[in-house]
Structure 1
């Protein structure tokens, strides 16, 4: 067997194993995100999680071009470019398009990846799908309301979930705890 053939066979086996592992991953992740014991305004409000019947073009009026490309063309911002990497403190991270709360600041951590990362989203505020754009299967996630692309979830995060929800900063906005959450758009 030639060296090139052996390398191709090894790469094929690796991709097949990765694909098999991803198919075992559930479509919707079960996380303990809603089990926070501290006060969270998101837990005290009932949110309309049903998607408004809006085209991606509708959301363009609320976000800039770069954010729209990320949210509705599933692009990725450059590493270390988000101001949200340095955001610490109490508050809520909301979808930049429709304003649905997605993450509590209590779940944010420094993953060292260059993108804002969280160990859990708010339960039922995220939907996932399989992403094969880079040949290696990944789990992509979106805002459940506007379907805006947020990022990818990986299994290398901290406890208690072991998950890393790696988010594009332009797909989010931060609302400090002392401010009221804005109304949903759409």
Structure 2
């Protein structure tokens, strides 16, 4: 059951508004559950301290201290910030996976797999196109 306060914090826009706000590539990934090509994302090799935020609504999703190089071709994290993401069963692509979405705007981020390092053992495999980055104060 959804709490009334939770429903009030959700970001809601029409598909036309999302498309105008995001541009074609971000719209394809965030709103149509697309995937960017591996090793192509701007944030894959980012090593700066800061927060990875939703590319649609700006909600903090992952802390840079949980990011690691999984070798998969997408930014990978061991855990989200609090309850910033929702997980959903994904039966597309001929397999069962766990899709990860922004809890605030329901934008598609990527998938989570049980093959990550400790302490969680999880790998949140996230599209750069679905993220923004806010460096820690004082960093360029």
TM beyond 0.5? yes
In the alignment, structure 1 segments of 5+ residues that lack a partner are: 1-47, 180-186
1:52 Cα deviation after fit:
2.5
In the alignment, structure 2 segments of 5+ residues that lack a partner are: 1-6
More strand by share: 2
State the match for 2:18 in structure 1.
59
TM-score by length of 2: 0.89
Aligned residue pairs total 132
Q: Summarize the Cα distance change of 1:49–1:70 in structure 2 as closer, same or farther, 3 Å threshold.
A: farther
Which protein has the larger Cα radius of gyration, Structure 1 or Structure 2? 1
Give 1:138's match in structure 2, choosing from 97, 101, 105: 97
Q: Summarize the Cα distance change of 1:153–1:49 in structure 2 as closer, same or farther, 3 Å threshold.
A: farther
TM alignment of 1:100-179, pairs within 5 A: 100-178=59-137
More helix by share: 1
State the match for 2:3 in structure 1.
none
Q: CA RMSD in A?
A: 1.6
TM-score by length of 1: 0.68
Q: Secondary structure at the match of 1:60?
A: helix
Give 1:82's match in structure 2, choosing from 37, 41, 62: 41
1:145 Cα deviation after fit:
1.1
